[in-house]
């Protein structure tokens, strides 16, 4: 399996990959990749179980099914468009913007909210702030821990894309999911989904237990930032999407232009 080294993912999967819950007869071998690297790897059918941007998942429904546990989905947790200079949204059609990947939900939201923002360049998400500061780009689309630190570097917010999505749709922001290969037997998918759910429950019950693992992989080492990151991205929708989560994803997939007929009954694996 593969997921990001970000605190929300390592918090979720700590108990599962370190045998703090019952996972027999499975033993999970983990790879840590940046969000866009995960999206590309999935396109190449590389991992049995993988974290995916929801936008990337919408393009890979023939290969993968979405699990009901493990998602990053909620309110007030969307990507931010930031800059060093005092740009406004009217400037977006004429400035260069760094994005964390073409197939990320962040870029989908940028195009959904500001279709005139066409001059974009892909970068590793953790390099975007420095690229803006160094003048390599005019603005940047930031995700993950950077949401909590950009203002400390003299950067300012142009727009909160998640906030705009919420205002336009009334839905939470569907950022990332856990997906499994379609050819895995249903019994095994059911077990994987159960392990993720139990791992999340363990993490919520014993939050101190995962701290060393989370901190080992996080790009931001400040305890308060890590805790804020986890609190923002791991919630009731992570444990189980429920009806609201499923309707949110369906709505987003329609907004991507995906034909409704492509949303087969089994686009999500219901255990």
Instruction: Give the model's pLDDT for residue 145.
Output: 75
Report whether 221 contacts 212 (CB < 8 A).
no
Instruction: Give the model's pLDDT for residue 261.
Output: 61
**Chain CA centroid to CA 205, Å:** 23
Q: Show the domains of the chain with their CATH numbers.
A: 2-74+173-269 (3.40.190.10), 80-169 (3.40.190.10)
Tokens 């499994």 belong to which residue?
180
Instruction: Give the model's pLDDT for residue 263.
Output: 64
Instruction: Give the model's pLDDT for residue 92.
Output: 95
Instruction: Give the model's pLDDT for residue 87.
Output: 94
What whole-number percentage of the chain has pLDDT above 90?
81
Mention every residue, 6+ apart, whose C-beta is less than 8 A from residue 244: 171, 172, 237
What angle is formed at CA 268 by the lines to CA 228 and CA 198, rounded to 5 degrees?
50
Give the 3-state secondary structure of residue 169. Answer: helix
Instruction: Give the tens place of pLDDT for each residue, 120-130.
Output: 999 998 899 99
Tens place of pLDDT for every residue, the chain, 271 residues?
999 999 999 999 999 999 999 999 999 999 999 999 999 999 999 999 999 999 999 999 999 999 999 999 999 888 999 999 999 999 999 999 999 999 999 999 999 999 999 999 999 988 999 999 999 999 999 987 778 888 889 999 999 999 999 999 999 999 999 999 999 999 999 999 999 999 999 999 999 999 999 999 987 778 888 898 899 899 999 999 999 999 999 999 988 887 666 666 688 887 6
Phi, psi of 5 (to 5 degrees): -85, 10
Show which residues are catalytic. 144
How many residues does the structure list for the chain?
Answer: 271
């Amino acid at each position: 399996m593969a997921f990001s080294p970000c605190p929300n993912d390592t918090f979720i999967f700590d108990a599962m990959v370190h045998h703090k819950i019952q996972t027999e007869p499975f033993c999970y071998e983990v790879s840590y990749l940046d969000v866009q690297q995960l999206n590309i790897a999935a396109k190449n059918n590389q991992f049995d179980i993988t974290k995916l941007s929801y936008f990337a998942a919408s393009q890979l429904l023939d290969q993968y099914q979405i699990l009901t546990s493990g998602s990053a989905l909620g309110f007030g947790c969307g990507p931010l468009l930031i800059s060093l200079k005092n740009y406004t949204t009217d400037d977006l059609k004429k400035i260069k913007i760094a994005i964390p990947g073409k197939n990320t939900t962040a870029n989908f939201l940028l195009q959904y909210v500001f279709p005139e923002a066409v001059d974009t360049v892909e970068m590793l998400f953790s390099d975007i702030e420095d690229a803006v500061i160094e003048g390599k780009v005019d603005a940047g689309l930031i995700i993950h821990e950077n949401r909590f630190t950009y203002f400390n570097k003299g950067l300012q917010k142009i727009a909160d894309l998640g906030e705009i999505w919420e205002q336009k749709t009334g839905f939470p922001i569907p950022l990332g999911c856990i997906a499994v290969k379609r050819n895995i037997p249903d019994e095994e998918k059911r077990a994987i989904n159960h392990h993720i759910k139990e791992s999340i429950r363990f993490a919520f019950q014993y939050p101190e237990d995962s701290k060393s693992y989370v901190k080992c992989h996080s790009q931001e080492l400040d305890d308060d930032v890590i805790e804020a990151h986890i609190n923002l991205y791991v919630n009731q929708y992570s444990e189980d999407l429920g009806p609201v989560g499923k309707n949110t994803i369906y709505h987003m997939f329609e907004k991507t232009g995906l034909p409704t007929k492509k949303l087969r009954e089994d686009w999500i694996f219901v255990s």
